[in-house]
Amino acid sequence: MKKTGAMSIIWTWFGFKELDHKQKYIICKICQATVIARRGNTSTLLYHLKTKHVVEHEESQKMHSPQMPSQVERKKLALHTRRPQSRKHFLKALLMIKRISSGLT
């Protein structure tokens, strides 16, 4: 059974038994092991995938969306996105945003 309201990509490899309507016991879809994750924390699930199913873990890392920019990157972004004085400044700021979001800077 799929996790209701799941946001993390990790739930691709985990789920629940059909009769577990309270979604209390997490099951690895690969090896059928029961994995404990308290309060919806997915760290244990990721650790299970990393240690028991290396290929799937690598796949999960590729599927992960890029991380949010760090505080320093956000400050740089703010400096470059303040009311551009010209089209040239606007395009430069837009390029900076794309670089930060793709992790190139």
Instruction: Provide CB contacts within 8 A for 47, sequence distance 6+.
Output: none
Return the higher-pLDDT residue of 90 and 76.
Answer: 90
Per-domain boundaries in the chain? 9-63, 71-102
- Greater pLDDT, 83 or 3: 3
> Mind listing the pLDDT tens digit for each residue in 25-66?
889 999 999 998 777 678 889 999 999 999 998 888 887 655
pLDDT score of 63: 78
Instruction: Tell me the angle at which helices 43-52 and 54-63 cross, rounded to the nearest 10 degrees.
Output: 130
pTM score, whole prediction: 0.54
Instruction: Compute the average pLDDT of residues 87-92.
Output: 75
**Between residues 10 and 40, the one the model is more confident about:** 10
